[in-house]
Structure 1
Amino acid sequence: MKASDFDAKFAEGQEDIVEDLDLSTARRVNQDQKRINVDFPAWVVESLDREAARIGVTRQSIIKVWLVERLQAEAVNQSLNRDAAGDGH
C-alpha cells in the first residue's frame, strides 16, 4: 500500500488501519535498552534490596523506577525554571 493511500485511510477514520501495519517490527521511540554497570557501596545495595523486598520488586526494578522518577522531576524543575526566568520577574 502506498503511503498516500494509508494516510487517506487513516484520515477518513472509518476503517481499521491496524491490519495494514506490520507490528512485528514496531518499536517505541527512545525505548531501546542499553546495559550499564554501576558500582554502589555495600550499604546502598543492602538498602536497595530491603526496599525492593518490602514492595515486592527486584533491585533492578526499584533502581529503574527511582531514576526515572528523579529524571522526570528534574525535567519539570528545569521547565519551571525556564518559564520563571522568561516571564520577566
Structure 2
Amino acid sequence: MKTSDFDRNFDEGADIAEQVDWSKARRPNEELKRVNVDFPIWVVEGLDRQARRLGVTRQALIKLWIAERLG
C-alpha cells in the first residue's frame, strides 16, 4: 500500500490496524537517558514519604513531578 493510500484511509476513519506492524512502532521523543542527581538526605526522605503516601516509587514520583513542571 502506498503511503498516500494509507494516509487517506486513516483520514477517512478506516481501520488501518491490519496495515501496521505494531512490533516496530515507536513513540517519538520517548527514548530514555539516565541522569544522576544528588539530593540531601532530607530531600530523599521527603520524596520517600510522598511516594509512600501516593503508593508509587521514588523514581516514579520524581518523573511525575518533573514532567508536570516542564509540561
Give the shorter-chain TM-score range: 0.7 to 0.9
Q: Tell me the amino acid that sits aligned with residue 39 of structure 1.
A: D
- Counterpart position of 2:65: 66
Corresponding residue of 1:4: 4
TM-score (normalizing by structure 1): 0.70
**One-letter identity of the residue aligned with 1:10:** F
Shift of 1:42: 0.9
**Given the superposition, is the C-alpha separation of residues 3 and 60 from structure 1 closer, same or farther in structure 2, using an over 3 Å criterion?**
same
RMSD, aligned CA: 1.4
Which is greater in Rg?
1
Aligned length: 71
Structure with more relative contact order (C-alpha pairs < 8 Å, separation 6 or more): 2
TM-score normalized by structure 2?
Answer: 0.85
- Runs of 4 or more, structure 1, over 3 Å off, are none
Gaps of 5+ in 2: none
Q: Which one has the bigger helix percentage?
A: 1
- 1:47-87 deviation per Cα after TM superposition (whole angstroms, max 9, x unaligned): 11111111111000110111111112xxxxxxxxxxxxxxx
Aligned 1:8-47 pairs, distance under 5 A: 8-13=8-13, 15-47=14-46
The residue identity in structure 1 corresponding to 2:28 is V
Runs (5+) with no aligned partner, structure 1: 73-89
Kindly, what percent of the aligned residue pairs are identical? 63
Instruction: For residue 37 of structure 1, report the CA deviation from its aligned partner.
Output: 0.7
The structural deviation recorded for 1:18 is 1.2
